[in-house]
Structure 1
Amino acid sequence: MLSWLAEQRIQEAMRNGEFADLPGHGKPLELEDLSGVPEELRMSFKIMKNAGILPEELTLRAECVTLEELLAACRNSGNANSSEQKSLESKLSLKRLRLQQLLRERGLENSSIFTEYGDQIRQRLSGQE
């Protein structure tokens, strides 16, 4: 009964043009693909994403990818600054250690699903989709 009433109200609002000026009107919906996120983490990730907050492990993974790209650029350039390269390597090591610690604390260290998700993030961030 309740769903029928809700549907009637929606139909009436559509006839009255109440949805005509909504943002995104006439555009396709952007559906999120959360298939790579472990099921038990999906709701918390969605809530955090909507709040503009990323889990620390995702932030760390993104920072690692950035540092890896900077290191690769240093190594590929003919005039690589040795102290800069060592600084980047040190930062990358610290980020990786923190990431391993977080994964261990959360019981995700050996999770194949989380590892797969991490690989997908790495590919997306490095443009290898």
Structure 2
Amino acid sequence: MDIISLIAENKIREAIEKGELKNLPGQGKPLELEDLSHVPEDLRAGYKMLKNAGVLPEEMEIKKEIISLQKLMDCCYEEEKKNIIKKQLNEKILRFNLLMEKRAVSSPALSFYKDKIFDKFAGKD
């Protein structure tokens, strides 16, 4: 065990003895572990912090806005307002597609698997 682990263990033991760890939220309940296998390993800590802070990743925020605009457009009966909403919706969809395209290009893993999938469909196993 390295020195940092020993220091951490001692601090935890001291806190337990002082009763500082009693009545914590979730005490006695099993931990809820999330499946983050779909998130690249180097981004997991960032995604977890954003989620705990109640912040959505940009692509999810845009997707949420797209859904809201679609619902709004479905409820709108005035043609002028519907056209305004449709323009906003198209802008959001374009922004979402550009963002996803940019991410796909910057992800070597995605490019690798994309090529493998295309080869599979093309019969180049």
**Which TM-score bucket, shorter chain as reference?**
0.5 to 0.7
**One-letter code of the match for 2:38?**
G
Distance 1:26 1:62, change over 3 A: same
| Cα deviations by residue, 1:97-116 (Å, 9 ceiling, x for unpaired) | 0111112222269959xxxx
The aligned counterpart of 2:19 is 17
Alignment partner, residue 104 of structure 1: 101
Alignment match of 1:42 (pick from 25, 41, 44): 44
Whether 1:7 and 2:9 are equivalent positions in the alignment is: yes
Structure 1 contact 64–96 (Cα < 8 Å) conserved? yes
Counterpart CA distance in 2 for 1:84 and 1:98 is 21
Q: Post-superposition shift, 1:64?
A: 0.7
Secondary structure at 2:71's aligned position in 1? helix
Note the residue ranges of structure 2 that are not aligned, 5 or more in a row.
112-125
Percent identity between the aligned chains?
44
Q: How many residues end up aligned between the 2 structures?
A: 107
Q: CA RMSD in A?
A: 3.3
2:68 alignment counterpart:
66
Matched position secondary structure for 1:35: coil
Instruction: State the AA in 1 paired with 2:83.
Output: K
- Give 1 or 2: higher helix fraction: 2
Unaligned stretches of 5+ in structure 1?
Answer: 75-79, 113-129
Distance in 2 between residues matched to 1:59 and 1:33, nearest whole Å: 21
**Secondary structure of 1:36's partner?**
coil
Alignment of 1:47-58 (within 5 A): 47-50=49-52, 53-58=55-60
Q: Relative contact order: is structure 1 or structure 2 higher (C-alpha 8 Å, sep ≥ 6)?
A: 1
What's the TM-score, normalizing by structure 2? 0.59
